[in-house]
């Protein structure tokens, strides 16, 4: 009997030990539920790459909102929450219009829209690009400096913030126009926010990253904007981008489309896949253009779709379904 009792006791203790060990090795549910900001924390640029608080390379994927003055209905918490829950975005881009009845004419109205998106992103634990959505920002330097200094002063302590001081410059000089513009806006941001990433627009609709690579702006945690549309831009632009990266230039794709550069026409699935493979290979973060119900191919949802319907499969466009597949299943 003693032997039997000993054997039973030994097996029972062994079972308890195994159970405790298994519990310790099981994934922490809290870790599984971590938001992108919980997981990655303060971002920075190291050796030409975007890295998280632990120094590990990070690739963020998300969506860009449309021009704020034309699609204001999506600049709210409900949109951001539904994109996080149904599309698995890690990043939202608040494309604040500057011209064409935008910030220059209605600064309080447009600022309020941006703040709603920033606060929704903070609440949802994702990163947010604050985009000065302008094609002539060098003509609006005073306004840009004032805007970004206000944003940095109010939200610069949050690691969620990413600044984009110039959406898409046209065919203007990098050295003579864009670099001086960026230097002044950077100074306005850095007086309140010394750490968060600033993504700098490049010539020719933010495609000539090679020109910036020849004469980069001095400073910490600076990246450079690349925009592409899969139907218009292909291997030539990827080659330009790769050459810039080989020179150490950090690249961030703050806007891309699955269509032609005019935002309409066909949705180019193969060409989009080629770009996705390129961005994954080089760890480039991206935001897709755009969360809008405009009647054009690049819009992620169909006309008359509301923020509450963003996750409704019947309301998602061809482009939206393609991009959502990369957001949800390519991690």
Residues noted as catalytic:
168, 255
Contact status, residue 34 vs residue 259, Cβ threshold 8 Å: no
Residue by residue, what is the 3-state secondary structure of the chain?
CHHHHHHHHHHHHHHHHHHHHHHHHCCCHHHHCCCHHHHHCCCEEECCEEECCCCCECCCEEEEECCCCCCHHHCCHHHHHHHHHHHCCCEEEEEEECCCCCCCCCHHHHHHHHHHHHHHHHHHCCEEEEEEECCCHHHHHHHHHHHHHHHHHHHCCCCCEEEECCCCCCCCCHHHHHHHHHHHHHHHHHCCCCCCCEEECCHHHHCCHHHHHHCCCCCCCEEEEEEEECCCCCHHHHHHHHHHHHCCCCEEEEEEECCCCCCCCCCCHHHHHHHHHHHHHCCCCEEEEEECCCCCCCCCECCCCCHHHCCCHHHECHHHHHHHHHHHHCC
Token representation of residue 278: 């390129």
Angle separating helix axes 107-124 and 77-87, nearest 10 degrees = 40
| Rg (the chain; Cα; Å) | 23
Closest C-alpha to 40, from 204, 196, 223: 196
Q: Which two tokens stand for residue 36?
A: 């992108």
């Amino acid at each position: 009997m003693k032997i039997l009792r000993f054997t039973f006791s030994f097996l029972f203790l062994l079972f308890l030990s195994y159970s405790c060990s298994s519990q310790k090795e099981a994934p922490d549910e809290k870790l599984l539920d971590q938001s992108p900001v919980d997981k990655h924390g303060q971002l920075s640029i190291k050796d030409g790459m975007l890295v998280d608080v632990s120094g590990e390379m990070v690739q963020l994927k998300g969506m860009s909102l449309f021009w704020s003055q034309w699609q204001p209905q999506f600049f709210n918490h409900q949109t951001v929450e539904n994109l996080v829950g149904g599309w698995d975005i890690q990043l939202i881009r608040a494309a604040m219009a500057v011209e064409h009845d935008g910030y220059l004419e209605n600064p309080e109205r447009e600022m309020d829209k941006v703040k709603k998106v920033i606060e929704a992103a903070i609440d949802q634990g994702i990163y947010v690009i604050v985009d000065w959505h302008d094609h002539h920002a060098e003509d609006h330097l005073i306004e840009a400096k004032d805007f970004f200094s206000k944003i940095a002063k109010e939200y610069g302590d949050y690691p969620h913030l990413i600044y984009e001081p110039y959406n898409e410059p046209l065919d203007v000089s990098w050295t003579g126009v864009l670099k001086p513009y960026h230097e002044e806006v950077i100074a306005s941001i850095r007086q309140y926010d010394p750490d968060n990433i600033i993504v700098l627009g490049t010539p020719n609709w933010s495609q000539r990253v090679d020109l910036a690579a020849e004469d980069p702006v001095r400073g910490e945690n600076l990246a450079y904007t690349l925009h592409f549309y899969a139907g218009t831009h292909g291997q030539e632009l990827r080659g330009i981008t790769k050459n810039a990266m080989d020179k150490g230039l950090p690249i961030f794709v703050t806007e891309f489309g699955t269509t032609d550069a005019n935002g309409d026409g066909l949705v180019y699935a193969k060409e989009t896949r080629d770009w996705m493979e390129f961005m994954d290979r080089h760890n480039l973060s991206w935001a897709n253009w755009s969360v809008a119900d405009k009647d054009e191919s690049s819009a992620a949802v169909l006309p008359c779709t509301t923020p509450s319907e963003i996750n409704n499969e019947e309301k998602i466009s061809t482009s939206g379904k393609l991009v959502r597949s990369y957001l949800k299943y390519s991690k």
